[in-house]
Amino acid sequence: MVICKQHLTNLEICDITQYLYGSDRLYGDISVFANCSKLNTINLTNLPKIYGDVKVFEFISNKNWYLISLYGTSISGNLSSFKDISVSYYFGVVHYTQVTGDISNLSNMKNVSRLALMYNSNITGDISIFKTFTNLRELAVNNT
């Protein structure tokens, strides 16, 4: 699957999900989304051949997201790439990935309602940050 970066500039929602983990039919580097200035929803769940550094989120001009779900992929990088991003509904990036970092980098996500930080022993930080998340309805931090 090849996507040309210049053709994705108007993309707002990317929902490519494999509900049964282990599909190898879809693959590629998340850097293809670097020029998607309007992207506000990305769901690439359970696609182990999706890879790349989450640093790409630093280059996407939109900083107000609805959903970011990248769990079950082969992405890597540091949570610091999300320090300027706000998410209103769901953020699930770390479980079953190689993402590392301190949860203090998520401080701009005060309005998120669902936050999943599970199944990743490379995530650190003080959980008191969550008391500032005013709309948080679901928090999953198990096996971290």
User: What is the pLDDT confidence band of residue 20, given thresholds at 50, 70 and 90?
Assistant: low
Question: Percent of the chain at pLDDT above 70?
Answer: 91
Query: Contact 93/68 with Cβ under 8 angstroms?
Result: yes
78: pLDDT strictly greater than 90: yes
Using alpha carbons, list the distances in angstroms from residue 9 to 2, 13, 27.
15, 11, 20
pLDDT in tens, 96-129: 899 999 999 999 999 999 999 988 889 999 999 9
Where residue 47 falls (left for φ over 0; alpha for ψ -120 to 50; beta otherwise) is beta
Domain limits, the chain = 5-140
pLDDT above 90: residue 57: yes
What is the model's pLDDT at position 23?
63
**Selected residue with higher pLDDT from 95 and 81:** 81
More confident residue, 21 or 58: 58
What is the Cβ-side half-sphere exposure of residue 53, based on CA atoms within 13 angstroms? 8
Model pLDDT, residue 3: 46
21 vs 70, residue with greater confidence: 70
5-140: CATH, from 3.30.70.20, 3.90.730.10, 3.40.1170.10, 3.80.10.10: 3.80.10.10
Is the pLDDT at 137 greater than 90? The verdict is yes
Tell me how long the chain is: 144
More confident residue, 143 or 108: 108
